[in-house]
Amino acid sequence: MTRVAVVCPGRGSYGREELGSLTRGRPGGAQDLLQAADTWRRKVGRESVTDLDSRGRFSSRHLAGENAAALIFTGSALDAMALGPGLEVVAVCGNSMGWYTALHVAGVFGFEDGLRLADTMGGYQADGVVGGQVITPVVGEDWRPDPTAQEEVETVLQEVAQAGAFAARSIHLGGFAVLAGDDKGIRVLLKRLPRRRLGRRDYPFQLLGHSAFHTPLMEPTARRARKDLADLPWRAPRASLVDGRGRVFRPRTADPEALRDYTLGAQVVTTFDFTTCLRVVLREFAPEALILLGPGDNLGGAVGQVLVREGWSGLHDKQTFLDRQASGCPILHAMGRPEQRARVAARS
Amino acid sequence: MAVDRSPIVDRNLLRMVASWERERETAAEPQSVLRACPGLDGRTLLELFESQITSRHLDLIARVLKREGRGFYTIGSSGHEGNVVLGKLVRATDPSFLHYRSGALMVERARQVPGTTPVFDTLLSLVASAEDPASGGRHKVFGSRELWVPPQTSTIASHLPKAVGCAFALDRAGAVDWSPPVPDDAVVLCSFGDATVNHATAQAAFNAMAWTVHQRLPLPLLLVCEDNALGISVRTPRDWVAAALGARREIRYLRADGTDLPAAWAAAREAVEHVRRTRRPAFLHLDVVRLLGHAGSDVEVQYRDEQELVEVEARDPLLRTAALVLEAGLMSPEEVHGLYEETRARVAAAAEEAARRPRLRTAAEVVAPLAPYHDHTVEAEACRNDFAAVRERVVGPPEDWPERSERPRHMAVQINRALADALAKYPQMLVFGEDVAGRKGGVYHVTADLTRKAGLGRVFNTLLDETTILGLAVGAAHLGFLPVPEIQYLAYIHNALDQLRGEACSLQFFSAGRFRNPMVVRIASFAYQKGFGGHFHNDNSVAALRDIPGLVIAAPARGDDAVGMLRTCLAAALVDGRVVAFLEPIALYMTRDLYAEGDGLWQTVYPPLDEVVPLGRGRVAAGTEARDLTLVSYANGTRLCMRAARVLEREHGVGARVVDLRWLAPLDEELVLEQARATGRVLVVDEGRRSGGVGEALVTLLAEHLGAGLQGVMRVCGEDTYLPLGPAAEAVLPSEARIVAAALSLMEDRAAQRRGLKA
């Protein structure tokens, strides 16, 4: 058995490239799950996941909170189901809304309850986006921490406060800082954060359609969720879960009430520290490999950056990570990439 | 009989689980309260069990790593895992000083702070990796900034006095206009073994604790003795710990079987609640067993027969917790087996990663935490004078401020003034010692009236025990106080030296700079009290201080220097966490004159607040232009040298410059070399002993750097002796006459040259 940790991606992991990935080439077992997703979606009056995934063209419709959440949750759940034998899942974690998927993958919820959680949380955005999120890198091209960039973020956050606006750290995302704030805060962030280029992208930029998740601005949303989801049946997980603070919930000892309180409380309104979360997964569970569920693979960079930050398994910069990935013994298997998926998915 | 018992202990649990046949009593839900364990619900019990198992596997892997040459420490926690209850019951914000068998406690405590990684951290420490967050690869310790666990490298029992000090300081915060960075109702935890109880340092701590409580002063301290009945191979007499500590009126004593979780839980809970609620100490005595020997290198079969070992192993706390868990139906035997093996795999995999992590390689890397020094910041802090309003309250109205008076005063008065100003400047500063409070302010009145000025909460007398005084300083400093303890005489530091050497000065090193205990220890020092007092009031030996890594040693000769240096010392403590020994020359406290009676030249005016003496900077005290000879000295020696220089000049036509080192560590090497080069002849005048004195360092410095470039180097120093009573003391100490004689003999070659020229 290979000891692996499963990482569930968050918003932004279903894009143009992923169109059709949920429905095409899935084995028989996946159909039941897709059908369950579609049924549930229709029941709440939303476009089915199958229809969304089968559209001819990627559009803003796919990015809308309620749709993106359902697509990603369903895609990840399909991938988790497809994991082959010979893998021992020692820990499960996720980034941001990937936490909801993680709860399902670790067995806290069945598929439908998990979908309801993800869909409900994402769906609140249909009533209007609250503030926004901005992303900017805090590492160099080699993925090593860039202290200057870190300081700049701190300075700009202070400037936002001085300008009488609100902004805070939303997600510690490996080599990126995701900042969130109210509308004025976002304007200051975009204006004041220094321009940086990493890979082929220019930063900072605003994440379209994203509310100011993981900040106190989401308090009303959290309150609403606690009410709307009061009847959600919380169970103890079957696999160890690591949350966005780095707290470990273990199968026999996790308190379902604590899971609920976190998921519908602190998780929504305080910084989601994916960096620490993955650090805890690595240091306390020491998996032989990490599996990044699909759809998409764009969390892979952040995962790689955490591995580099931790110096895990001898990786100390982007190149050593890429070399390792190209070797016969890669450390990260992204199921959104066919060649990597083939290594960990069951043969259909 | 098997010498290595670890495979046996390892197998015992698996065998016990495999042969578990009893019917489940109930199919309990984790949240149900277990009948067998009042106050302990099923989920909590399972959490404790998980932590116990994790700790066990850390012990087992430590032995594997050691065998493979990848790990360097095997003292483990096996048999002591009952301490896990304290990991749950004591808060992660309660300062905790833990001994080396605290694995289960630490793993459990880490649950309280998300994001902590106790397994990997412990492994990094076992393999001495530079990435070990507790000590940076300098020691295998349990320590964590996030978990408020300063690492203990303890020379056995040496951590007890600071635990007492920390607890004392916790509740002292109420009396001071300053709060430590822990909650108001925090308590202090300190753990140790049964053999430790007998140590003089432990006894000092117990006594100090009782002494404090006896006066109805608060002391929220939980002492935990994990009694495994052995000190390495030496048996502790049956019931000795109970006999020694069970009946002290001032200390609440509780005893429980530490291998039995419900029993340990109940006693620990009562103890913690007692301390937190009453702010009075408790002594929790947990009977435990020691499995796997004292350390991996300890061949236990040399002193325990197989039957005893088997009996002890049968009391393995993991077996007992497993039985409890199985009886309650909280887990099936297969689940226990699964948890045990899954933890083994997890720890083993993490160990592989940890063993690859870098270790310290160079001397510079090793010593880095000894020198995180910021001289400019220190100087700026020392000169800061933005506390006029408080100063007015503490010292008096501006017209009484000492720098406004032009009247020169002697050193004792100046130090007293500087302390008063410092108390105004630093609300977190505490002054304490055997006899410092009140109007008198000690034998030499140096702290006179400070109690009235700053309050009894900040300037107070302690009991007569240097270990306690320094322990209090270390403990208080952990909380952010700025302690200025006084040791009455230099000779007395030696009975408590370990509190400086093994504890205070080692903290930044062994915590890789993550913890600090800044302090300025004032010590009335040196000889020349006009034949008064005998050795123990005139001790002149600084050897034991000089080689303590990182310790600053100040030895002023003049009152104004003493003030400027004290300001710097306090700032260095605050900014860089430094520990300072401030050696005050007793014989100069009241000295007024330099050359002749009534000249008043040894008195000074009080330097303005922004005048300081930079750390490690000596000065030329006399004869800046002299070309013949350089006299290098400190404290009493400086004054003697100045007198001698005058004689040399007036009576022998020899021009001597006098260097006052002011700091014995760090030494102003640059100044000494520069002044030596200027004349080519150096006479070192060291009132300390010939062996191990500062003089040795100076002569070595000169030899290494100038060598043959000098025409002559000599020492006049104290003899290698205890000092006798009365005038005989003068025979073994540098005197003005000896200095003059030595100087003239150093000049002998020049005199000869001159004679030759004349001839």
A304 min Cα distance to partner chain B (Å): 17
**Model pLDDT for residues B577-626, shown as the tens digit of each residue:** 999 999 999 999 999 999 999 999 999 999 999 999 999 999 999 988 99
Of B114-128, B293-307, B424-438, B680-694, minimum mean pLDDT range: B293-307
Helices (H), B595-714: 635-652, 669-679, 694-705
Yes or no, beta carbons of B119 and A283 under 8 Å apart: yes
- Which residue in A234, A247, A253, A315 has the most chain B C-beta atoms within 10 A of its own C-beta, making it the best mutation to test that interface? A253
Decide if B566 contacts B525 (C-beta within 8 A). Answer: no
What span, in angstroms and rounded, lies between the C-alpha atoms of A129 and A209? 7
What span, in angstroms and rounded, lies between the C-alpha atoms of A341 and A335? 4
Decide if A304 contacts A318 (C-beta within 8 A). Answer: yes
**Model pLDDT for residues A249-290, shown as the tens digit of each residue:** 999 999 999 999 999 999 999 999 999 999 999 999 999 999
Decide if B585 contacts B557 (C-beta within 8 A). Answer: yes
Tokens of B664: 């014995």
pLDDT at position B241: 96
Taking contacts as CB-CB distances below 8 angstroms, the residues of chain A near B131 are 311
- In which residue are the tokens 């190149």 written? A319
Yes or no, beta carbons of B349 and A280 under 8 Å apart: no
**Model pLDDT for residues B455-493, shown as the tens digit of each residue:** 999 999 999 999 999 999 999 999 999 999 999 999 999
Q: Kindly identify which residue of chain B lies nearest to residue A279, measuring between CA atoms.
A: B115
Any chain B CB within 8 A of the CB of A201?
no
Any chain B CB within 8 A of the CB of A276?
yes
Decide if A335 contacts A294 (C-beta within 8 A). Answer: yes
What span, in angstroms and rounded, lies between the C-alpha atoms of A343 and A143? 26
pLDDT at position A190: 97
B12 min Cα distance to partner chain A (Å): 23
Q: How confident is the model at residue A18 (pLDDT cuts 50, 70, 90)?
A: very high
Taking contacts as CB-CB distances below 8 angstroms, the residues of chain B near A283 are 117, 119-121, 350
What span, in angstroms and rounded, lies between the C-alpha atoms of B179 and B185? 12
Q: Kindly identify which residue of chain B lies nearest to residue A257, measuring between CA atoms.
A: B31
A283 min Cα distance to partner chain B (Å): 5
**Model pLDDT for residues A30-62, shown as the tens digit of each residue:** 999 999 999 999 999 999 999 999 999 999 999
Angle at which helices A219-228 and A111-123 pack, to 10 degrees? 140
Q: Kindly identify which residue of chain A lies nearest to residue B29, measuring between CA atoms.
A: A252
Q: What is the ipTM of this complex?
A: 0.96
- B294 carries an active-site annotation: no
pLDDT > 70: what percent of chain A?
100
Q: How confident is the model at residue A208 (pLDDT cuts 50, 70, 90)?
A: confident
Q: Kindly identify which residue of chain A lies nearest to residue B113, measuring between CA atoms.
A: A247
Q: Does pLDDT of B197 surpass 90?
A: yes
Any chain B CB within 8 A of the CB of A253?
yes
Q: Kindly identify which residue of chain A lies nearest to residue B119, measuring between CA atoms.
A: A284
Of A119-123, B164-168, B615-619, minimum mean pLDDT range: A119-123
Decide if B197 contacts B258 (C-beta within 8 A). Answer: no
**Model pLDDT for residues B420-465, shown as the tens digit of each residue:** 999 999 999 999 999 999 999 999 999 999 999 999 999 999 999 9
Out of B43, B115, B331, whose CB is closest to A280? B115
**Model pLDDT for residues B500-519, shown as the tens digit of each residue:** 999 999 999 999 999 999 99
Higher-pLDDT residue of B620, B25: B620
Any chain B CB within 8 A of the CB of A1?
no
A37 min Cα distance to partner chain B (Å): 32
Any chain B CB within 8 A of the CB of A347?
no
| pTM, to two decimals | 0.95
What span, in angstroms and rounded, lies between the C-alpha atoms of A345 and A335? 8
pLDDT > 90: what percent of chain A?
91
A125 vs A98, A118, A221, CA distance in Å? 17, 12, 9
Decide if B437 contacts B451 (C-beta within 8 A). Answer: yes
Mean pLDDT of chain B: 94
Yes or no, beta carbons of B115 and A284 under 8 Å apart: no
B680 min Cα distance to partner chain A (Å): 50
Q: Kindly identify which residue of chain A lies nearest to residue B336, measuring between CA atoms.
A: A252
Taking contacts as CB-CB distances below 8 angstroms, the residues of chain A near B356 are 313-314
Tokens of B490: 């230099």
Decide if B505 contacts B519 (C-beta within 8 A). Answer: no
**Model pLDDT for residues B333-354, shown as the tens digit of each residue:** 999 999 999 999 999 999 999 9
A79 vs A7, A33, A292, B32, B166, CA distance in Å? 11, 11, 9, 37, 54
Yes or no, beta carbons of B115 and A287 under 8 Å apart: no
Average pLDDT of the segment spanning B246-274: 95
3-state secondary structure of B712: strand
pLDDT at position A65: 87
Taking contacts as CB-CB distances below 8 angstroms, the residues of chain A near B116 are 246
Any chain B CB within 8 A of the CB of A287?
yes
Q: Does pLDDT of B521 surpass 90?
A: yes
Taking contacts as CB-CB distances below 8 angstroms, the residues of chain A near B120 are 283-284, 286
Yes or no, beta carbons of B350 and A286 under 8 Å apart: yes
Q: Does pLDDT of B25 surpass 60?
A: no
Average pLDDT of the segment spanning A202-219: 95
Any chain B CB within 8 A of the CB of A206?
no
Q: Which of B422, B447, B457, B424 is nearest to B172 (CA)?
A: B457
pLDDT at position A209: 85
Any chain A CB within 8 A of the CB of B43?
yes
B179 min Cα distance to partner chain A (Å): 27
Any chain A CB within 8 A of the CB of B357?
yes
pLDDT at position B36: 57
Yes or no, beta carbons of A247 and B50 under 8 Å apart: no
Q: What values do phi and psi take at B393, rounded to 5?
A: -70, -45
Angle at which helices B6-18 and B306-314 pack, to 10 degrees? 50
Yes or no, beta carbons of B352 and A255 under 8 Å apart: no
Q: How confident is the model at residue B759 (pLDDT cuts 50, 70, 90)?
A: low
| Full strand arrangement of the beta sheet holding B552-554 | B459-461, B429-433, B482-487, B519-525, B579-585, B552-554, B663-665
Yes or no, beta carbons of A286 and B120 under 8 Å apart: yes
Any chain A CB within 8 A of the CB of B46?
yes
Tokens of A66: 């309620």
B52 min Cα distance to partner chain A (Å): 14
pLDDT at position A335: 96
pLDDT at position B33: 47
Q: Does pLDDT of B418 surpass 60?
A: yes
Out of B114, B342, B353, whose CB is closest to A313? B353
Q: Kindly identify which residue of chain B lies nearest to residue A277, measuring between CA atoms.
A: B115
pLDDT > 70: what percent of chain B?
97
Q: Which of B139, B285, B478, B537 is catalytic?
A: B537
Chain A (33-92) residues lying within 8 Å, Cβ to Cβ, of chain B:
90
Residues 6+ away with beta carbon under 8 Å from B559? B409, B410, B411, B413, B414, B415, B603, B604
Out of B115, B342, B353, whose CB is closest to A312? B353
pLDDT at position B22: 66
Taking contacts as CB-CB distances below 8 angstroms, the residues of chain B near A285 are 346, 349-350
Q: What number of C-beta contacts closer than 8 Å exist between A and B?
A: 66
Taking contacts as CB-CB distances below 8 angstroms, the residues of chain B near A253 are 30, 43, 46-47, 50
